[in-house]
Structure 1
Amino acid sequence: MPAHPWLEFAKRVQALAQAGLTYAENSYDQERYQELSEISVAILAELSGEEVPRIKDLFTNEIGYQTPKTDVRAVVFKDGKILMVREKIDNCWSLPGGWADVGFSPGEVAVKETREEAGLEVKPTKILAVLDKKCHPHPPSPYHTYKIFILCETIGGTLQEGSEILAAEYFDRTELPELSTERGTVSQVQLMFEFLDNPAKATVFD
């Protein structure tokens, strides 16, 4: 059972409603699916304490068949330490990365985000993990998200912070900083170190 089952129920209801609104062929079905969408918004508003208009803008802002969002994280090691960046948004640390951009492959996203956030040029070499955010100890989120962790080799550049980043540094596994848990968890970072210890370790997925 997920850590926040009612949130998962609300997201699933919204996904079904959005699919129905996309493919329904008559006004009666459209009305039913619109009501389901409104119910999902009401559930989330009740759970979060946010106003319904704000929830509606955030939760029902897409059209077409709803699919999970994709978050890509670059895993870069140096001298047994892992690269992390300090986020301006919450003053905490995460692996370089972010939402996948349309027109970019996962590997290209990892390269772009590492360059923009840490100043390094990297080459993606292996997908380490594909994780479903709901299966891990992240804070509640209105989006169903898959997280892709990609091992990258540094090929150039100079370590420096980007425009949305306060700092970029390497950390030992025993001295991890306070993490931005919306973006990554201690258990996920420790999982990445398992690949450093065992390069032949198979890709992990939920």
Structure 2
Amino acid sequence: MEPKWLEWAKQLQSIAQAGLTYSKDIYDIERFEMIREISSDILAQHTEIEQTVIKDLFANETGYATPKVDIRAVVFKDNKILMVKENGDGKWALPGGWGDIGLSPGEVAVNEVKEEAGYDVEVSKLISVFDKAKHDHPPSPYHVYKMFILCEIIGGQAQEGIETSAVEFFGEDELPPLSVARNTESQINIAFQHLQNPKQPVYFD
């Protein structure tokens, strides 16, 4: 699903980041800086992200380049799925966010549901690991793995958080406008498959 220009830009960034981390020769470092600049130019030309923002994102990354991890909590109630309205784009997503250092994926899912939707949940199982590049998301400067984790409500009540403006449950045939940078309709459909068939195997890629 990911366009070739984006794949190439991220590969160039990965090469540049590794080179800048491990190179000692000043001329090699200069060449890797040039590769990083080309990667930033490609992203700026094909996305709405400002070049200065792209450069800042890349400049903060050091060491060997690895994918980022995004955790999404899947919570059902009365055959409907829990979603939150994102302040950033005014659209709807499963509660979630970047994985946190020091927390397991399950702990991140539990925290995100509480912070964004107000509910207390416990983790049930992993239902999917998506490679964002293989799904219909808008272009992103990062390579991202998205983990969807099934959770069960054990307490709390609906309450929006700092980053959310509404909390609601939706049936599979009544999904609201989705924040497709965070989750796509096909991914939500896969989540509903686990509701209908609890023995459904983990989806990956």
> What TM-score results when the alignment is normalised by the length of structure 2?
0.95
Residue 36 (structure 1) aligns with: 35
CA distance in structure 2 between the partners assigned to 1:144 and 1:185 by the alignment? 16
Residue 126 (structure 2) aligns with: 127
Residue 166 (structure 2) aligns with: 167
Q: Gaps (5+ residues) in structure 1?
A: none
Task: Summarize the alignment of residues 16-35 of structure 1 with structure 2, pairs less than 5 Å apart.
Answer: 16-35=15-34
Q: Is the CA contact 1:127–1:149 (under 8 Å) kept in the aligned structure 2?
A: yes
Pairwise CA RMSD: 1.4
Taking a change above 3 Å as real, the CA distance of residues 122 and 51 of structure 1, as seen in their structure-2 partners, is closer
CA distance in structure 1 between the partners assigned to 2:119 and 2:79 by the alignment? 17
Distance apart, 1:50 and its partner CA: 5.3
* Total equivalences in the alignment: 205
Deviations, residues 14-42 of structure 1 (Å, cap 9, x unaligned): 01110111112322322222221122112
CA distance in structure 2 between the partners assigned to 1:189 and 1:113 by the alignment? 18
CA distance in structure 2 between the partners assigned to 1:20 and 1:177 by the alignment? 44
Report runs of 4+ in structure 1 exceeding 3 Å deviation. Answer: 49-52
Give the AA of the match of 1:155: I
Deviations, residues 165-193 of structure 1 (Å, cap 9, x unaligned): 11111111011111111111110001100
Distance apart, 1:49 and its partner CA: 6.2
Task: Summarize the alignment of residues 59-138 of structure 1 with structure 2, pairs less than 5 Å apart.
Answer: 59-138=58-137
Residues 3-12 or 67-76, more deviating: 3-12
Give the AA of the match of 1:82: I
CA distance in structure 1 between the partners assigned to 2:25 and 2:72 by the alignment? 42
SS in 2 for 1:140: coil
Residue 139 (structure 1) aligns with: 138
Distance apart, 1:52 and its partner CA: 3.5
Give the AA of the match of 1:115: K
Taking a change above 3 Å as real, the CA distance of residues 49 and 193 of structure 1, as seen in their structure-2 partners, is closer
Residue 10 (structure 1) aligns with: 9
Q: Is the CA contact 1:19–1:66 (under 8 Å) kept in the aligned structure 2?
A: yes
SS in 2 for 1:98: strand
CA distance in structure 2 between the partners assigned to 1:198 and 1:140 by the alignment? 32
Residue 186 (structure 1) aligns with: 185
Task: Indicate whether 1:153 and 2:169 are aligned.
Answer: no
Aligned-pair identity in percent equals 57
Q: Gaps (5+ residues) in structure 2?
A: none
Taking a change above 3 Å as real, the CA distance of residues 119 and 50 of structure 1, as seen in their structure-2 partners, is closer
> What TM-score results when the alignment is normalised by the length of structure 1?
0.94
CA distance in structure 1 between the partners assigned to 2:134 and 2:116 by the alignment? 27
Q: Is the CA contact 2:130–2:204 (under 8 Å) kept in the aligned structure 1?
A: yes
Deviations, residues 54-98 of structure 1 (Å, cap 9, x unaligned): 321133321111111111000001111110111111111100111
